Amino acid sequence: MSRALPVLVLETDEPLQGLLEALLRRDGYDPAFVQDGNAALRLLARREFTAFIVDVSIAPSTLEDGARRGVGFIHYLRSHKPALLSRVVILTGLPDRELPSDIPAECQLLSKPFDIDALRAAISRCAMAAV
């Protein structure tokens, strides 16, 4: 039996967490959920992940590099682990005009509400990038 692929999920919405957990587990992934960028950094320091699902509109948190909001984790990756950016799926409920302008092009962006098949395809691309 193959080992489930680990996915780090930064999402604070509990109903969406439940949906993501069911979807990811059914598709052979092992999701780890965190509530903010600081918790994500602590977990990333201890484990490797196949993919990252990040809500850029999560509550403000200050990361080591001083970045704010959920997008701060993305900024950290850009500065310290840029090879991981191609394994990031950004989920957002923000209107386009409110999205941070500096989201890396390597990241995949899905607007809420998102299509389940589009999310599956994005996560699959992340898994392929991890190989």
- The confidence score (pLDDT) of residue 37 equals 85
> What domains are there in the chain, each with its CATH number?
5-130 (3.40.50.2300)
CA distances from 75 to 9, 23, 26 (A): 16, 27, 30
Q: Is the overall model pTM greater than 0.75, yes or no? A: yes
Q: In this model, does residue 23 exceed pLDDT 90?
A: yes
Q: Encode pLDDT of 83-123 as tens digits.
A: 999 999 999 887 777 777 778 899 999 998 999 999 999 99
Q: Encode pLDDT of 65-76 as tens digits.
A: 444 456 788 889
**pLDDT, mean over the chain:** 87
- The confidence score (pLDDT) of residue 2 equals 65
38-47's contacts with Cβ under 8 Å and 24+ in sequence apart are: 38/62, 38/63, 40/8, 40/10, 40/73, 41/73, 41/76, 43/8, 44/8, 44/81, 47/6, 47/8
